[in-house]
Structure formats: structure tokens, C-alpha cells
Homo-oligomer: A and B are copies of this chain.
Amino acid sequence: MLSIVLLGTGNLAKHLFDGFQNQEHIKVKQVYGRNKKALSYFQKETSTTTNSNAIEEASVYIIAVSDDSITAVSELLKTKNGIVAHTSGSVAISALPSSVNRGVFYPLQTFSENRAVDFKEVPICIEAENTNDLEILKNLASEISDTVMEVSSKQRKDLHLAAVFVNNFTNHLYQIGHEICEKSQISFAVLEPLILETALKIKTLSPLEAQTGPAKRNDYGTMEKHIKDLQNKNHKEVYSVLSNSIQKTYGKKL
């Protein structure tokens, strides 16, 4: 049985908590958070505390707070013997105090309130400073996910950056599509099958092979018309820069 103390009360903390609950070999002993109200989510199922001096002993401390707060929260665990792991994509393992058994437990997924996540499908990237700790984190991750990977701080940083492109920026393109539809009184839902197929396609074709559209085929006439048709200055700029980037990508391959 792996005992866990979870530090943090946000989206990720809640999703992790739900993922850990009902796992036979995992027990979340306690959730720590500064905000008493936010702790209510966990209260029915485990003990909670706002007092950093009352943090219990555990095999693994999982820090699920914003990047900026990781160092401060990890300082509270300086005297603990368990593994102290943060959950961030972009923070190095070295941001944790050198006195603790440092680790990283990074679930590569986007977590939203009111949207359940099946952890089995979420890749978990782990890192530790010795093989014993790595083994413990691997066991913990394997309890909830089918994909567990050892990833260095450098690789994790790159992965997080790639995630910004495929998740944050992609969602913004959906938002632009939404604005164009709204302006033209078309339901955005009409684009959903296309959005889904675009995402599914790359499981069988590489994005390089899957690319289509006016920029890919150097169709300057259509691109000019499109930029002219766009009313929003931002949309025009995004259109130009992405078209240009596509053209450069395929120019390179000639």
C-alpha cells in the first residue's frame, strides 16, 4: 500500500484525487491546502488540513499547485522522508529542496472542472534521482495509467512546450473558428466532426502527411481572398503567420 499526501486543491489535485481513490494499492491519507473552502471537495473521503505543521508522514507527497508556488510548498516538506514529487510540465526537478527525495509526477493532459478524465489514457511522465524512488513513482503511476514514461527535466520541458502548441494554441484556433461561425450565424457545432477527424487522423498519418489546404498547395489566390475576407485584424495575422509557416515547412521538403 502506497500512502499519499496531496498538496493543492485545484483542478489537477481534484482529478488526481479522484484517480487515486478506489485504487486498491493507493491510500490518500491527507490533503493539504491553504484554502479551507477548497478542501471541502476532499473532506468526505479523507482527512484534510490547512496547517503545514500537521502534514502527516507518507510514502509520496504529490504537489499539485501552480508552478510559482511549487518551491514554497515543497519547503514545507523539507524534513519528510517520503518522495516529494511535483506535477508540473515546465518546472525542473531541481526546483525542489535538495534535502528531500525529489521526484516528478507529470500527467500530460488538460484538466477542466466538471469534466471527468480517464487516467488510464493519460501518459504520466516520471522523474526521480535514484532507481528506488523511480520504481515507487512508476508503481504509483501504473496504478492509474496505462502509459508511464521516464522523462528527463529537459524532455519534460520540451513536451510541455509541444503541449502548448497542440492544446492551448489549437483551442485558440477553435475559438477563431467559433468567432467566424458566430459572425456568419452558423452553429459552431457543424465544425465538430471536422475537428474530431483532424485530431484522429494523426493516429494513422503523420501531421506532415495529413496537411492539406491553400498554404500547403501554394494557392496564393485563395490565401489572398481569405485574408481579405477576414474582418478581424488578429485573425488576419494568425492566418498569415500560420500559412507562411506551412509554406516554409513544405518548401523545406522539396
Q: What is the interface of chain A, defined by CB distance below 8 A to chain B?
A: 67, 90, 108-110, 112, 115, 117, 121-123, 147, 149, 151, 154-155, 157-159, 161-178, 180-181, 183-186, 188, 190-208, 210-216, 222, 225-226, 229-230, 234-235, 237-239, 241-242, 244-246, 248-249
Pick from A155, A190, A207, A225 the residue with the most CB of B within 10 Å. Answer: A207
Q: Which residues in B have their C-beta under 8 angstroms from that of A186?
A: 151, 155, 158-159, 162
| Cβ contact within 8 Å between B184 and A158 | yes
| Cβ contact within 8 Å between B173 and A213 | no
Q: Which residues in B have their C-beta under 8 angstroms from that of A211?
A: 168, 171-172, 175
- Alpha-carbon separation in the docked complex, A176 to B67 (Å): 24
| Cβ contact within 8 Å between A172 and B226 | no
Q: Which residues in B have their C-beta under 8 angstroms from that of A166?
A: 173-174, 177, 191, 194-195, 198
| Cβ contact within 8 Å between B109 and A172 | no
- Alpha-carbon separation in the docked complex, A173 to B242 (Å): 9
Instruction: Known A168-B246, A211-B168; judge A109-B206 contact (CB<8 A).
Output: no
- 7 intermolecular pairs with C-beta atoms under 8 Å apart: A112-B201, A159-B181, A159-B186, A162-B178, A162-B186, A164-B213, A172-B207
Q: Which residues in B have their C-beta under 8 angstroms from that of A180?
A: 158, 161-162, 165
| Cβ contact within 8 Å between B171 and A173 | no
Copy count, this protein chain: 2
| Cβ contact within 8 Å between A109 and B168 | no
Q: Which residues in B have their C-beta under 8 angstroms from that of A237?
A: 241, 245
Write the nearest CB–CB distance from A131 to chain B, whole angstroms.
21
Instruction: Known A123-B190, A164-B213, A190-B149; judge A205-B112 contact (CB<8 A).
Output: yes
